Amino acid sequence: MFKKILIANRGEIACRVAATARRMGIQTVAVYSDADAQAKHVAACDEAVHIGGSAPKDSYLRWENILAAAKATGAQAVHPGYGFLSENEDFANACAAAGVVFIGPPASAIQAMGLKAESKRLMDAAGVPLVPGYHGANQDPALLHSEADGMGYPVLIKASAGGGGKGMRVVEKSEDFAAALASCQREAINSFGSDAVLVEKYVQRPRHIEIQVFADTQGNCVYLFERDCSVQRRHQKVLEEAPAPGMTPELRRAMGEVAVAAARAVNYVGAGTVEFIVEQPQGYGHPEAMKFYFMEMNTRLQVEHPVTEAITGLDLVEWQLRVASGEPLPLKQEQLVLTGHAIEARICAENPDNNFLPATGTLQVYRKPGHTAFERAADGPTHGVRVDDGVREGDAISPFYDSMVAKLIVHGATREQALARLDAALAQTRIVGLTTNVQFLRRVARSDSFAKGRLDTALIQREADVLFNQEPVGLALAAAADVAQTLTDERAAEGADPFSKTDGWRLHTEFARRFAFEFHGETVQATLSYLHDGALRLSVGEGDRAVSGLLAFEPTATGDGLVVSYAGQRSTVQVVRRGEVGHVFTPAGATQITSVDLLAHAGDGQGEGGRLTAPMPGKVVSFAVQAGDVVTKGQPLAVMEAMKMEHTIAAPADGTVAELMFAPGDQVTEGAELLKLTLG
């Protein structure tokens, strides 16, 4: 076994690999960029080497620097994690040439599976079922278009070199094909350096089911069952689970054996995932009718590998290290056992209600659910909650890397139990300072489709009514919680027992105190009356939406929150104040309520006029308009790229473009003015 390895990655996966290495007594070397000098993964390793600037191309993708760091520190092997260099055959070759073990498959297998079109030709020859489509080398747009017409719509155009959900366009009808092809090719050349595409039939009611495979250098190859990753947004995974709901032993074996055949066809070694798209021609719950087709093979450890670890009780990073050091696979196919049900939720810095726009910010408050790590027990995996992350409270989520903050993994004896654990764990995940998808994930997990296992990749669109723009906490409770927190803070500041019924200020006879809040863009007034008997009455809002009732509160047993009773409702809440904003966490979900100082805000409300600003730091990809153009509300004006995604900036109102402030390719900071618009 290795004595020392270098981890050529950052964030949660670098921490994840370091944890196993530590458990196995292997020393670890971290690498880090400027932005990551204080990162958690650096602290998680025994040594750390600075490899360059914050942008990935200046650090985590610079394999010369990484190899030099391995040499300098005496690391015998490099673990690439996922993303970055994990599927870069040049890096795998360079490692071999430098006498450093690449913890992954041989470069030839990476290359064979690296391009979607070529890998499909190879898989076809190996008898692996493929989605009907065109995977040829001829890229003449007219030919691609006629191939699509021949297949019938909808079709999917995919960048052959693509990954991470990027470089894909669904085309609904022939008229849209040419424009979709051009935009797919543009994204492909920018992101992957090649504009080669393939076109395939867009499978109806598709499910994404993938098989974890593992092979060693002695010719053994096994499958570690499946993961269902059908819940996606922008072709990227949101929730992953194992086993796949409705899976039968027969289908599992059939898919597993095809996946092993696919791996064997490229002389695979190490951890890999064969992704299948599964058609459900008879609707949900008819596994006998499901048809599976090879989609691609990811020649690395996958983000969602923990769900497989949960149901098998294995440590896949340990297996990777054993295989890379020449040991045989620890178990044979017949010895692998699937226990219980596991679900992973990807917690990301993004705004689901704004088309999943990535967010940057600082984790001012970062509370994780009480968790019990999956310890390996003799009788299989323990059930519990696991959090894999690469950040700590106080850390920033920068625009340089992807938006995943943490992964929450739950395991239960049954899917129902796992779902209940997931719901509770998400409710206990408290993040302030950063917009995240935590509440959204909770709603997805609770949605009818997910709860009943009616899965396909359109689940999020189908359930949109209950997933987006939801407010789990009403104004009355939010305001009551905020007022209760204010009073608690004031009493504590006065040195009074904050919950005593007889402290001084309460002896003023009856009087009223006014509060103003902003809640969902509306300004609301609230009045707190101190009654003769020491009780409090709170009135919130006006007109028919007004609520009035007695307010009482006390600290929770654990002291980190308040039990608030208001207008007949009793809730355990936690209010975290950041400036004027109160972040209110309740069992039903979380919300924000802003305390408004009416005098301080007099004169506001002029709006931003014709200023159009960047919603986040990133790069200007293109402008769709020029100075002088007349535009209408909602018309696309510019495309920005940030955190691996493209975002269209649309006109907020009708007007005329006065001036473009940047050129395509320019890097912009959050709030930078992109263009001037004369309204009207």
Half-sphere exposure for 147 (CA within 13 Å, toward CB): 22
By the 8 A CB rule, do 440 and 349 touch? no
Q: How far is the CB of 158 from ligand ADP (least distance, A)?
A: 6
User: What would the x/- binding string for ligand ADP be over residues 123 to 162, using CB under 6 A?
Assistant: --------x------------------------x-x---x
* Nearest in space to 185 (alpha carbons), one of 169, 201, 202, 164: 169
Q: How far is the CB of 115 from ligand ADP (least distance, A)?
A: 11
Q: Is 56 in the site for ligand ADP (CB under 6 A)?
A: yes
Alpha-carbon torsion 252, 258, 262, 267, what sign?
positive
Question: For strand 270-279 and strand 384-389, is the pairing parallel, antiparallel, or unpaired?
Answer: unpaired
Question: What is the CA angle 85-88-94, rounded to 5?
Answer: 95
Residue number with CB closer to ligand ADP (298 or 539): 298
- Residues listed for the chain: 680
The window from 47-55, 171-179, 229-237, 580-588 that contacts ligand ADP (CB under 6 A) reads 229-237
Alpha-carbon torsion 57, 61, 63, 66, what sign?
positive
Among ligand ADP, Mg ion, none, what does residue 203 contact (CB within 5–8 Å per kind)? Answer: ligand ADP
Q: Is 203 in the site for ligand ADP (CB under 6 A)?
A: yes
Q: Please give the residue whose beta carbon sits closest to Mg ion in the complex.
A: 275
Residue number with CB closer to Mg ion (27 or 212): 212
The window from 73-81, 84-92, 274-282, 577-585 that contacts Mg ion (CB under 5 A) reads 274-282
Total chain residues near ligand ADP (CB under 6 A)? 31
Give the neighbor-by-neighbor strand order of the sheet with 673-679: 611-613, 673-679, 655-660, 630-631
CB atoms within 10 A of CB 212: 27
Among 228, 389, 402, 646, binds ligand ADP (CB under 6 A): 402
Among ligand ADP, Mg ion, none, what does residue 636 contact (CB within 5–8 Å per kind)? Answer: none
The window from 293-301, 422-430, 446-454, 586-594 that contacts ligand ADP (CB under 6 A) reads 293-301
Give the neighbor-by-neighbor strand order of the sheet with 47-52: 47-52, 27-33, 4-7, 77-79, 101-102
The window from 30-38, 272-280, 312-320, 517-525 that contacts Mg ion (CB under 5 A) reads 272-280
Residue number with CB closer to ligand ADP (400 or 662): 400
Written in H, E and C, the secondary structure of 356-374 is: CEECCEECCEEECCCCCCC
**Residues whose CB is less than 8 angstroms from the CB of residue 655 and which lie 6 or more positions away in sequence, other chains included:** 610, 630, 631, 677, 678, 679, 680
Residue 34 CA to residue 56 CA, distance in Å, equals: 10
Q: Is 39 in the site for ligand ADP (CB under 6 A)?
A: no
Helix (H, G, I), strand (E, B) or coil at 204: coil
User: What would the x/- binding string for ligand ADP be over residues 204 to 223, using CB under 6 A?
Assistant: --x-x---------------
Question: What is the CA angle 172-174-176, rounded to 5?
Answer: 70
By the 8 A CB rule, do 244 and 207 touch? yes
User: What would the x/- binding string for ligand ADP be over residues 660 to 679, using CB under 6 A?
Assistant: --------------------
Q: Is 291 in the site for ligand ADP (CB under 6 A)?
A: no
Q: How far is the CB of 117 from ligand ADP (least distance, A)?
A: 11
Q: How far is the CB of 210 from Mg ion (least distance, A)?
A: 8
Q: Is 303 in the site for ligand ADP (CB under 6 A)?
A: yes
Among 147, 216, 296, 315, binds ligand ADP (CB under 6 A): 296
Q: How far is the CB of 228 from ligand ADP (least distance, A)?
A: 11
What is the greatest pairwise CA distance in the chain? Answer: 88
Q: How far is the CB of 10 from ligand ADP (least distance, A)?
A: 9
Catalytic machinery residues: 300
* Nearest in space to 284 (alpha carbons), one of 139, 454, 148, 425: 454
Among ligand ADP, Mg ion, none, what does residue 131 contact (CB within 5–8 Å per kind)? Answer: ligand ADP
Residue number with CB closer to ligand ADP (84 or 292): 84
Buried/exposed code over 320-346 (b: 16+ C-beta within 10 A; e: otherwise): bbbbbbeeebebeeeebebebbbbbbb
DSSP code at position 203: -
Among 28, 185, 212, 302, binds ligand ADP (CB under 6 A): 302
DSSP code at position 130: B
Give backbone dihedrals phi and psi of 570, rounded to 5 degrees, phi first: -120, 125
Q: Is 163 in the site for ligand ADP (CB under 6 A)?
A: yes
Q: How far is the CB of 525 from ligand ADP (least distance, A)?
A: 45
Among 200, 315, 389, 395, binds ligand ADP (CB under 6 A): 200
Q: Is 84 in the site for ligand ADP (CB under 6 A)?
A: yes
Q: Is 437 in the site for ligand ADP (CB under 6 A)?
A: no
Among 195, 275, 388, 646, binds ligand ADP (CB under 6 A): 275
CB atoms within 10 A of CB 182: 13
Residue number with CB closer to ligand ADP (165 or 652): 165
Write out the DSSP string of 502-516.
Answer: S-GGGGS-SEEEEEE
Q: At what angle do helices 116-125 and 107-114 cross, to 10 degrees?
A: 100
Q: Is 27 in the site for ligand ADP (CB under 6 A)?
A: no
Place of tokens 């070529």: 118
Among Mg ion, ligand ADP, none, what does residue 232 contact (CB within 5–8 Å per kind)? Answer: ligand ADP
| Site for Mg ion, rule CB under 5 A | 275
Binding site for ligand ADP (CB under 6 A): 56, 82-84, 131, 156, 158, 162-165, 200, 202-203, 206, 208, 232, 235-237, 275, 277, 295-296, 298, 302-303, 401-402, 404, 457
